[in-house]
A and B are shown apart, each in its own frame.
Chain A
């Protein structure tokens, strides 16, 4: 079980969502999960089991850097921030995702694509 959702999240999509959320301002892991849940109107529930490995993976790829700082509750938390490399990655990924949606939509909506 990676992500509890109403539908399966395609491979690599979580990484893109994380990059998008982090792009606005530095956030900690819990906030990322909350934000994705919130924005998706509860359709996506990110589990810790897939969130943290993804965060560490992105950090390892130098798309993110992390710093410890005080959270809104006053406790120390690990805040993730997008790097220049991560910003480029986000841009590229967003574009290819949009193109993918367009293309897949085209095929799905095409009457001849249907099987009888």
Chain B
């Protein structure tokens, strides 16, 4: 008989047990009667001899080995009855748990979606992303020539794909811009994609640069731009002025590789058709934005592929000596994930820590609530123990109740995190295959969190109840301490982050952005050389200067707040790493941007090998000396001037370590032009477009008001602030609930004492303070621990804090004050109730 059968046959076994014992009883009675006792007397003595019949049965069930399961079922039934009897408590407890578990479930779901789940493509397990690394270089892209070489020679890869993302392109001569992605012709076939309408790229058709130019639309773009009209297939659209034939639409569930969400896919081989003069595919040194993907051949491990590709790299080195880096390595990593965390580990760990902290606060608070309720249940538990229930049995019953709560909490957490995740995905315009529905990993995670939380919050208060410790115990103080400490950390961290965010939003970025436009002609994309770029830029600038309303025109490689990818250079100085934000700028840059000169001079036109530093960088490099005239780093560049700090590249950059290089001929094809206007610059775009196109009609410059970039950055920062505030509010809510529970507990333990004191004429205020004083030490210990922990954490936090110290007094004092206020408020309610008690009734109750 297996366990299940035994469980199913429980009723029958119960009856058999009953029959067996009855038989014994009757036999014993019969023997006594035979020995000459009267029947009544025989029954009486036998019953005495038998003792507790139920106890015997219980022992039999126990020895049968199924008892634990049966009793869990029984405990669960009892537990649900108990929970249903106090709906207020149950609701609060489940809400607290749902919030605590919900936050961690949400975080895990997000992590699961972007890093654990594979995207829905064919043979996801063998899909790999191929990158190269060297001790000095960390570029995601690989030159197309190298990709082609690997494709032709690698035997460990059954297929090689290439993708290339570029700046938005102009659609149909309008100002509207769409996001294209250039892909190799085998892209869709290798991913197993199907078309909603028309067909997708096929190596048979799109295998040469001379083939008819075609485009595949994304499902969303097709919906948005063409109202899902199937007749768009075969039509011609214009991208950067070039006609292309729409041949198909991807399915709604198609998963693009990488994090981009393109509107349209174009054959990589036709790149030069759209960007006339481009050398992207021909120049073996051009590696910008071209990514390499592949499918591993059957049975090949990523490390074997890495070995083979590295050997091929050795041969490539002979072909293109300048292209391959020193000590180049090849990385073959699983490619079927939306995102892989390589550099994000500290941030991820920090986020996980915060989320766990919320769970700990929730658990500690629930522990407090359970303690408080335990007082009310003391009589019931005492009664059960007096009636002969074993302590272990009562303990198990109480733990089962905790587990039930944990389970309910998990169940409530799931829809909560589903809703938030769903909103997040819609808001973030996530790909259609990303579903907010929890998968098995999320379900297991949530259940595990519920279980752990139940053990954590259930174990110690339960022990205390069962052991009937009436005195103030160490555990009680530990609960208060943990609760206050964890709440403290959460509140201070939220405070710090919100304050840093506000600081970012409301302080001057250090440069004038309202009246500046950035114009990126995209010269390098169209195959401009340094000399052709120079003549184009000279013409463009002199024509722009004649436009009415234009005050100043200059150039920069990285126009502030425009690029989403921020360039960072690190320098080692005396063993320390200094992180800098480099930019290559023309001499008028500072004037156009309104960045003040503090010392020295700006660079002159045509001057090379001079640099201008931000004040903050200069101070970092030469804390005590005068930097003017010093050589920067490699010794090639001389420092000529110090300018004001800006947050040009990242608004929440706290370091402001900008370095401005003078222009070299090599950098000219990558230049953007910055234009400062007298009034609002908004209406100027068509004029600028006309001027730029007038010089070279194949260019379609990208024009961005810096104000737009600024608002975008601010928008992101505001989102972060909202999330943090939300977490902070949850922390405050949990703190209120938990402390309320604990104070109620403390007061209910002393109701009698309060009554006696009141009867003896004690002052109510005195009693209030006496009760509060009980919390003084654990609260103080909690606060100190919390503050110390946060101060330690703030070293990690520092990266995300702009303009405020990790020890910002306002955040710390604010959190402490808030906690004490919450404690006092939480104390008022139960104590008020206690003070209104009927003294006589309490004193008579025992």
Please give the residue numbers on chain A whose beta carbons come within 8 Å of chain B beta carbons, in ascending order: 1, 28-30, 33, 47-49, 52-57, 59-60, 68, 71, 73, 75-78
Which of A49, A53, A59, A75 is within 8 Å of B23, CB to CB? A75
Confirm or deny: B62 has a beta carbon within 8 angstroms of a beta carbon on chain A.
yes
Q: Is the CB of B24 within 8 A of A29?
A: yes
Q: Is the CB of A78 within 8 A of B63?
A: no
Residues in A whose Cβ lies below 8 Å from that of B64 = 56-57, 59-60
Q: Is the CB of A53 within 8 A of B60?
A: yes
Please give me the residue from chain B that is nearest to A29 by CB atom.
B24
Q: Is the CB of B24 within 8 A of A53?
A: no
Residues in B whose Cβ lies below 8 Å from that of A73 = 27, 30
Q: How far is the CA of A76 from the CA of B16 in the complex (A)?
A: 11
| Number of A-B residue pairs having CB atoms within 8 Å of each other in the complex | 64
Q: Is the CB of B19 within 8 A of A30?
A: no
Q: Is the CB of A48 within 8 A of B50?
A: yes
Confirm or deny: B59 has a beta carbon within 8 angstroms of a beta carbon on chain A.
yes
Which of A28, A53, A59, A76 is within 8 Å of B59, CB to CB? A53
Confirm or deny: B227 has a beta carbon within 8 angstroms of a beta carbon on chain A.
no
Which of B30, B60, B65 is within 8 Å of A52, CB to CB? B60
Q: How far is the CA of A29 from the CA of B52 in the complex (A)?
A: 18
Going nearest first, the 6 A-B pairs with the smallest beta carbon separation are A57-B63, A53-B59, A30-B27, A53-B63, A30-B24, A56-B60
Which of B59, B61, B62 is within 8 Å of A49, CB to CB? B59
Q: Which of B56, B63, B64 has the most CB of A within 10 A?
A: B63
Confirm or deny: B28 has a beta carbon within 8 angstroms of a beta carbon on chain A.
yes
Residues in A whose Cβ lies below 8 Å from that of B56 = 48-49, 52-53
Size range of the chain B interface in the assembly: 20 to 34
Question: In chain B, residues 652-702, which have Cβ atoms closer than 8 Å to a Cβ of chain A?
Answer: none
Distance from A77 Cβ to chain B, minimum over Cβ atoms (Å): 5
Confirm or deny: B386 has a beta carbon within 8 angstroms of a beta carbon on chain A.
no
Chain B 6-39 near chain A by CB (<8 Å), digits 1 or 0:
0000000000110111011011101000000000
Q: Is the CB of B23 within 8 A of A78?
A: yes
Question: In chain B, residues 36-63, which have Cβ atoms closer than 8 Å to a Cβ of chain A?
Answer: 49-52, 55-56, 59-63
Q: Is the CB of B23 within 8 A of A76?
A: yes
Residues in A whose Cβ lies below 8 Å from that of B30 = 73
Q: Is the CB of A77 within 8 A of B60?
A: no
Residues in A whose Cβ lies below 8 Å from that of B60 = 52-53, 55-56
- 6 A-B pairs (CB sep. < 8 Å): A29-B23, A30-B23, A33-B24, A48-B24, A73-B30, A78-B19
Q: Is the CB of B63 within 8 A of A56?
A: yes
Distance from A45 Cβ to chain B, minimum over Cβ atoms (Å): 9
Residues in A whose Cβ lies below 8 Å from that of B62 = 53
Q: How far is the CA of A33 from the CA of B20 in the complex (A)?
A: 13
Say whether chain B's binding surface is mostly helix, strand, loop, or mixed.
Answer: helix
Q: Is the CB of A29 within 8 A of B50?
A: no
Q: How far is the CA of A52 from the CA of B52 in the complex (A)?
A: 13
Residues in B whose Cβ lies below 8 Å from that of A77 = 20, 23
Beyond the given pairs A48-B49, A73-B27, 7 more chain A to chain B contacts, judged by CB atoms under 8 angstroms and listed by A's residue number, are A30-B24, A30-B28, A47-B49, A47-B51, A49-B51, A59-B64, A60-B63
Please give me the residue from chain A that is nearest to B66 by CB atom.
A60
Residues in B whose Cβ lies below 8 Å from that of A68 = 16
Residues in A whose Cβ lies below 8 Å from that of B26 = 75
Please give me the residue from chain A that is nearest to B52 by CB atom.
A49
Residues in A whose Cβ lies below 8 Å from that of B20 = 28-29, 52, 77-78
Please give me the residue from chain A that is nearest to B31 by CB atom.
A34
Known: A30-B24, A60-B63, A60-B65. A49 touches B55 (CB 8 A): yes
Q: How far is the CA of A74 from the CA of B377 in the complex (A)?
A: 50
Distance from A103 Cβ to chain B, minimum over Cβ atoms (Å): 30
Residues in B whose Cβ lies below 8 Å from that of A33 = 24
Q: How far is the CA of A74 from the CA of B606 in the complex (A)?
A: 121
Please give me the residue from chain A that is nearest to B55 by CB atom.
A49
Q: Is the CB of B65 within 8 A of A76?
A: no
Which of B19, B21, B63, B65 is within 8 Å of A48, CB to CB? B21
Q: How far is the CA of A75 from the CA of B30 in the complex (A)?
A: 12
Question: In chain B, residues 42-93, which have Cβ atoms closer than 8 Å to a Cβ of chain A?
Answer: 49-52, 55-56, 59-65
Residues in A whose Cβ lies below 8 Å from that of B24 = 28-30, 33, 48, 52
Q: How far is the CA of A47 from the CA of B59 in the complex (A)?
A: 13
Residues in A whose Cβ lies below 8 Å from that of B50 = 48
Q: How far is the CA of A48 from the CA of B52 in the complex (A)?
A: 10
Q: Which of A28, A29, A53, A55 has the most CB of B within 10 A?
A: A53
Q: How far is the CA of A48 from the CA of B51 in the complex (A)?
A: 9
Q: How far is the CA of A14 from the CA of B562 in the complex (A)?
A: 87
Distance from B356 Cβ to chain A, minimum over Cβ atoms (Å): 43
Q: How far is the CA of A52 from the CA of B20 in the complex (A)?
A: 9
Q: How far is the CA of A60 from the CA of B64 in the complex (A)?
A: 6
Distance from B339 Cβ to chain A, minimum over Cβ atoms (Å): 53
Q: How far is the CA of A92 from the CA of B263 in the complex (A)?
A: 80
Residues in A whose Cβ lies below 8 Å from that of B51 = 1, 47-49
Distance from B32 Cβ to chain A, minimum over Cβ atoms (Å): 13
Q: Is the CB of A78 within 8 A of B16?
A: yes
Residues in A whose Cβ lies below 8 Å from that of B23 = 28-30, 71, 75-78
Distance from B456 Cβ to chain A, minimum over Cβ atoms (Å): 34
Q: Is the CB of A76 within 8 A of B19?
A: yes
Distance from B350 Cβ to chain A, minimum over Cβ atoms (Å): 52
Distance from B53 Cβ to chain A, minimum over Cβ atoms (Å): 9
Residues in A whose Cβ lies below 8 Å from that of B55 = 49
Q: How far is the CA of A49 from the CA of B56 in the complex (A)?
A: 5
Q: How far is the CA of A68 from the CA of B65 in the complex (A)?
A: 21
Distance from A58 Cβ to chain B, minimum over Cβ atoms (Å): 9
Q: How far is the CA of A35 from the CA of B65 in the complex (A)?
A: 27
Q: How far is the CA of A90 from the CA of B62 in the complex (A)?
A: 23
Please give me the residue from chain A that is nearest to B57 by CB atom.
A52
Distance from B68 Cβ to chain A, minimum over Cβ atoms (Å): 13
Residues in A whose Cβ lies below 8 Å from that of B65 = 60
Residues in A whose Cβ lies below 8 Å from that of B21 = 48, 52
Residues in B whose Cβ lies below 8 Å from that of A28 = 20, 23-24
Q: How far is the CA of A39 from the CA of B257 in the complex (A)?
A: 84
